[in-house]
Every structure is written in C-alpha cells, then in structure tokens.
Chain A
Amino acid sequence: MEIIQKEENGIVSIAIKGRLDADSSMEAEKVVKNALGGEAKRLLFNLGELDYLSSAGLRVLLGAAKEMRRRDGKIVLCALNEFVKEIFEVSGFQSLIPIADSVESGIEIVS
C-alpha cells in the first residue's frame, strides 16, 4: 500500500494505492488521523489505484467519515474500481459515505 496526502484549496486529499487490508490498515489509520489533525473540514479519498479493500480497510474509511460528521465536515470517496465499488455496494457502505465517479466530481461534492 502507498499513501499520498496533499492539501489544495482547503481540501485534504488522500490517495491510497494498492491494498488496504488488515496489514496496511493500521498505517492508513495513522495517516488519516494525522491528516485530520488540524481543522480540515473537506476530505477527499482518491481510490483510483486501490486494488483491494478488506473490512479492516472499510473501518478506516468509516472512522474518517464519522470524524468528518462530528466536525460538520464533508467527505467523498473518488474513482473506485469495479471491485472496490462492489464491496461498497454489497456492504451497504455507499449509504454512509458519498462516492464520486471521478476526482473532479468528488471535488465538487466536498466544495
């Protein structure tokens, strides 16, 4: 797993590549926690290069969504591949966290 984090125009964007599973979820959780350390209220996950997502990975994203809700912020997951999208649909998470087809439309959602 590889995580790249940046901040642009008030949007914290986190790109997760590779596999987000039980092994890598701890590291991802740390990065997300750090990224939200400030007052960030707009959070965008770019999952365009995420190949695999396990339930431990879902927990990380859920944790971020709960935190954003707590601080009255916005969150979006962008560019999910078919496999990851299916996990979201079957697990019912799409009703908890907004999903966007592309990073561009994701930016619109959180702006």
Chain B
Amino acid sequence: MENKNSAAESILLVDDNPTNLQVLFQTLEGVGCKLLIAKNGEIALTIAGKALPDLILLDIMMPDIDGYEVCRRLKSNPATSDIPVIFLSALGDTEDKVKGFHLGAVDYITKPFQPNEVIARVNTHLTIHRLKREVESQKDQLEHELKVVSEVQRKLLPKQLPIIDGFKLGAHYETSRYAGGDYYDIIELPDNCWGFLIADAEGHSAPAAVLMAMTCALFRSYPGSAADPAEVLHYLNEHLCKVADPSFMTALYAHYDAKTQTMRIARAGHPLPMVFRNSDQRAIELPCPGVYPLGIEPYEIEIPVTEAKLEPGDRFLVYTDGLTERFDMEENTYGEERLLKPLATDSTSDPQGVVAAIMADVEQFAGKRHADDDQALLLGIVQP
C-alpha cells in the first residue's frame, strides 16, 4: 500500500516490556508518523487524552490496568473513542480476539509478530482513519452550508404576521432537515385586501429550498393583479415550468377581502383548505376544484376559483402535506380527518393558540417518530 502517512500523524505504542516496546518502535520507525510510547495503562490513557494519536497499538497483558481496560476507557471517553486500537498480545485464543473486538478494537496482532505484517496493518488502519476523518469533515462542511441555506430561507418567510382588520393570523413552519421546500407568504393589497400563498416543493433539503426561494422571488415581483387567484397561479407556473423539472410545487393562493370577509381560492395540487364554521361548530375540508401542481407544464384549462364567505368566529386553515402525512411509529399517517379535530375543538379565538393545539396534537400522534417532511400551516380567525 502506498504510504501517505505524515509527520503530523502519531501512533501510540503501549507495552509494559521495554524490549517489546523497543522492537515495536524500530519496526514502525519507517512509517512516517510520530511515535509515542507508554509503558503502562495509566500513562497510555494520559498520553492518549492529551496527544490524541491517530492509532494505538496496545498490549493486553499489563500489570494494574490491562489492555482491555485501557481500551474500554478510551472508548467510553468521547475525546478518544474514535482512535482506532490494535491489540498486540501473546494471547492467541479466538476468545481473546473476540473480546478485543467487542471492546471496539479494529484489529488484533498476535506476538511474536512479523514486522512487515505490523507495518502493513498499521498503514491500513491509518488510511481508514484518515479517510473516515475526511468524510466526516466533508459532512460537517455540507451540513454547515445547509444551515446557511436554512438561515437565508427563514428570512424569506414573513418576519411577522400582518395585522388585518377583523382577521387574526397564526402560523407554524418547520423543516425536517436544515433547509426545506415549504413556503408561505402574505401580501397586502389595495382596498383592505390581502393575498395568501402557501406552497410546497416536492422533496426537501437543498433542491426544494431553491424552488422555494424562486417561488418567493416570483410571487413578490408578480406584476399582475393579485386580486385574481387564477392569474397568480398561471404566472408562477409559467416561470416554474422552466426550472422545476423533474420536480414540482404544490400551491394554494387565496385572496381575502377583509371588508366582506370573503376568500377567493385557486389551488394547484395543494391540499384542500379547511374551514371551521362557528355557526354549527364543525370543521370541514372546503371543496375546492384545482389543477395539477406548478412547474410541470402550462395550464391549458382555466384554473377554477372557489369563493368562500367567512363569518365571525370562522377559522380558515391552509397547510402543507407534511402535516397530514406525518407518520407515527406504526407507519400510520396523521391524516385530514384527525386535523379537523384540533381545528374545531380549541375554544380560543387566538389563532396562535389554535396553531399550538394543532401542532401539539400532531406531535402527540407522531410520538417519537420524527418528521420526514417539512411542515407549514397558516391559520386565520375572523374576529367576533
């Protein structure tokens, strides 16, 4: 094997017998690493903790703290647990070897050893250890980059929910990994009207985050009339078709006239909105015909727009399917039926309270099962 070891790397040799230690030292002098030595378990642990060597060759039979115990302590200390340990002992029984591997050793060399064999094994484990460190550092780098993406992404969401005359808002947003594909936004329109957009890029993590950011940019620079929900979706679709393939984005846009408490809704592949009617204290999915998601191909049909008049005390909920498709430990999904309950039962007229009740219900259902997908929801309550 090609020797790529560097002087910055070190190997700790542990043996209570000075002659053995010397032979080992001479054997490994040529591998190109700094060699450290310890003549008992106690010293070995001290040096390992301070110098954090790249490899430890450890004799088993030593007075006081034997090699097994040294290995056990190294593995139970987070600072030294990743250092590969090779046992080196006259004990040649399978049982001893198995015990060594159980304690977390990576290899076992029986004494008397062949110098070439020791060198070959040492080089192999140094290489493995080096590659492992490289992979870990690249993983850290990627995670760091995703975290930065996620921070940028959070800035794209409304910093605070607007105050709307007689219509109070609440929201929840969380991504399953650092960055996600869910998006919601609210824009203020002339004449006490408002535009609500909720969208969900298929998939999660970086590719979905890019689509999410693109949708945000498109929506905020939309030059047409935000009073026409069909036109908004046509516009987003036209532009997303150029970039989304093979993915897509579900979206729902609702135009709200706060003077008449009327919602006008257009839907592209997105889950149906839910409405809690104060008059009969029931929550339902609002029937709302739609078209396929954004980013697939231009719509050749007219996008249907559904009008819904809200009354005081009514609640209007839009959400992404990460919520209803949240799994529990037995692979059941939370589902629309279940979501209707916390939407209806919480008696507060504070939307953030209802949002909290919904999320608590979802978490209780999911138990220890973490979210596989991003989850977003936006809720408005017509104030009495």
Interface residues in chain A, defined as those with a beta carbon under 8 Å from any beta carbon in chain B: 19, 21-22, 52, 54-56, 58-59, 62-63, 66, 90-93, 95-96
B321 at the interface (CB under 8 A from A): yes
A44 to chain B, nearest CB (A): 21
Neighbour of A63 across the interface among B200, B203, B246, CB < 8 A? B246
User: How many angstroms from the CA of A47 to the CA of B14 in the assembled complex?
Assistant: 62
CB-nearest residue of chain B to A59: B202
**Residue B290 interfacial (CB < 8 Å):** yes
Complex-state Cα separation, A63 to B248, whole angstroms = 11
Residue of A nearest to B289 (CB): A92
- The residues in B between 244 and 301 inclusive whose CB is less than 8 angstroms from any CB of A are 245-248, 250, 268-269, 271-272, 290-293, 296-297, 301
CB-CB under 8 A for A59 and B271, given A22-B372, A92-B293: no
A71 to chain B, nearest CB (A): 16
Q: Which of B322-338 contact A (CB under 8 A)?
A: 325, 331, 333
Is A96 in contact with B271, judged by CB distance below 8 angstroms?
A: no
B374 to chain A, nearest CB (A): 11
- Select the residue from B202, B248, B271, B290 with max chain A CB neighbours within 10 A: B202
Nearest neighbor of B203 in chain A, beta-carbon distance: A56
Contact B202 A91 (CB under 8 A): no
Contacts A/B (CB < 8 Å), 6 sampled: A55-B321, A59-B248, A62-B296, A91-B292, A91-B293, A95-B291
Pairs A-B, 7 closest by C-beta atoms:
A92-B292, A91-B269, A55-B202, A92-B269, A92-B291, A63-B246, A96-B292
Range class of the B interface residue count: 20 to 34
| Contact mask for chain B residues 339-372; partner A; CB cutoff 8 A; 1 contact, 0 none | 0000000000000000000000000000000001
A62 engages B269 (CB within 8 Å): no
B250 surroundings in chain A (CB, below 8 A): 55, 91
- Tell me the chain B residues, 198-217 only, with Cβ under 8 Å from chain A: 200, 202-204
Chain A residues with CB under 8 Å of B321's CB are 55
Shortest Cβ distance from A86 into B: residue: B336
CB-CB under 8 A from A21, the residues of chain B are 372
Bound state CA distance, A4 and B72, in angstroms? 49
A6 to B290, CA, bound (A): 35
A45 to chain B, nearest CB (A): 17
* A19, A58, A63, most chain B CB atoms within 10 A: A58
Report Cα–Cα, A96/B290, bound state, in Å: 13
A54 → chain B closest CB, angstroms: 6
Q: Is the CB–CB distance between B202 and A93 below 8 Å?
A: no
Minimum CB–CB distance for A93 against chain B, Å:
6
Given contacts A52-B333, A59-B247, A62-B248, 10 further A-B contacts (CB under 8 A): A55-B250, A56-B203, A58-B202, A58-B248, A59-B248, A62-B296, A66-B246, A92-B292, A92-B293, A93-B269
Interface string of B228-258 (1 = CB under 8 A from A): 0000000000000000011110100000000
Most buried by A among B292, B321, B325, B373: B292
By a CB distance below 8 angstroms, the chain B residues around A19 are 331
A58-B202, A59-B202, A66-B246 known; A95 vs B292 contact (CB < 8 Å): yes
